[in-house]
Amino acid sequence: MRGGKTVGWVEFEKVTKKFGDVIAVNNVSFSIEKGEFFTLLGPSGCGKTTTLRLIAGLEIPTSGIIRIAGEDVTLKFPGQRNVAMVFQNYALYPHMTVYQNIAYPLVVRKTPKKKIEERVKYVAEHLQIDTLLDRYPMEISGGQQQRVALARAIIQTPNVFLLDEPLSNLDAKLRLEARSFLKHLHHELETTTIYVTHDQSEAMALSTRIAVMNEGIIKQIGTPKEIYEKPADIFVAGFIGNPPMNILEFHTDGNSMILDGQKIKIEKIHGILKKLGEKAYLGIRPEYIKLGKEGDLVGEVYVVEPLGVENVVTLKLEKQYLKVLTFEETVFKPGQKLWIYFRRDKLNFFDSSGKRVAFENEEET
């Protein structure tokens, strides 16, 4: 503790990184606890890689302070930070075999040969590259190269793992298997991990906390559940979940909501409607909507997409569309008119600027 504040294992204090006119990271602050699996999630170009490179010491911030393990490392060289990084473009040593690439960080640390062999075997088997150990990087595929780069990082025991989209080039099945292995490994080693992805399901599955970024700014930091249930704004709401949260524009006359010409009666809603102003947004996840013979408003089935166990039903209101995830056997047909019911405990409201407005009795997260 320092001044009553918990000291994090990796800390950013008002860090900004500019490249000429581009502000890649804009006044970002966060504090990551030791042992966390912390994910930076956001669209292409939002500043994820730059943030990792700042932690690794491959970039120096334009302003702000970076601390690792209680030490100010803002101006320290990469070699002085004890971090292991997987780069988005792998950066394997071309003149070394796969085995030598993976073993390299341990060879440098003069780890006993036997121990190195054991560790290489363990990670290579779990990442399914154990048959490639004698080949050179040129002789293996992109997805295989990516797994070699990942193996080379996770063979180490650093202060922090920095993993930049380490599974992006793998096919769907392998990606899921490697994801489970990473989670297992984190459970086993408890090494603080900072993970970058633009895949929301990966972020949800792996992380203790997620930071959602957009245009160099952190929009929200929270547990996967907090981010899923109470997104800070419309951007976060639309980025998480598959299909993402429905965002429906409505207006209010102070007492009730009017959504595409239909008046919706929701109990105990007056307080929040007063806070919202005339135009606002309702946010509701597709799995928290029920379809049937009664409900809040009527919509017409636009399209039905079967995904195996569940169906995604898109409904058209007067102008807006919404998606419903249903696990029922009921067959819905395009053109069919249905009542739509919103689960009361799962409603989110956003003001005209897109910012979430909390209910009075709701705990702030």
What residue ranges bind Mg ion (CB under 5 A)? 49
Q: Is 19 in the site for ligand ATP (CB under 6 A)?
A: yes
The binder of 275, among Mg ion, ligand ATP, none, by C-beta within 5 to 8 A per type, is none
Question: Closest separation between CB of residue 158 and ligand ATP, Å?
Answer: 21
Site string for ligand ATP, 190-219 (x = CB under 6 A): --------x---------------------
Please give the residues from 235 up to 264 whose contact with ligand ATP meets the rule CB under 6 A: none
Residue 47 in contact with ligand ATP, rule: CB under 6 A: yes
- Token pair of 133, please? 């150990």
- Of the candidate residues 15, 24, 155, 273, the single one contacting ligand ATP (CB under 6 A): 24
| Residue 52 vs 272, nearer CB to Mg ion | 52
Contact between 45 and ligand ATP (CB under 6 A)?
yes
For ligand ATP, the binding residue among 22, 75, 91, 258 (CB under 6 A) is 22
CB of 44 to ligand ATP, least distance (A): 3
Residue closest to 166 by CA, chosen among 221, 84, 59: 84
Q: Which is nearer to Mg ion, 47 or 241 (CB)?
A: 47
Q: Smallest gap, in angstroms, from Cβ of residue 61 to ligand ATP?
A: 13
Which residue lies nearer to ligand ATP by CB, 41 or 276?
41
Using CB under 6 A as the binding rule, whether residue 361 contacts ligand ATP is answered as no
- For ligand ATP, give the closer residue by CB, 41 or 178: 41
Q: Residue 252 binds what, of Mg ion, ligand ATP, none (CB under 5 to 8 Å, by partner type)?
A: none
CB closest to Mg ion, residue no: 49
Nearer to ligand ATP, 80 or 89 (CB): 89
- Is residue 50 at the binding interface for ligand ATP, with CB under 6 A as the rule? yes
User: Smallest gap, in angstroms, from Cβ of residue 342 to ligand ATP?
Assistant: 34
User: Among all chains, which residue has been given the structure tokens 């769907």?
Assistant: 172
User: What residues line the site for ligand ATP (CB under 6 A)?
Assistant: 19, 22, 24, 42, 44-50, 88, 198
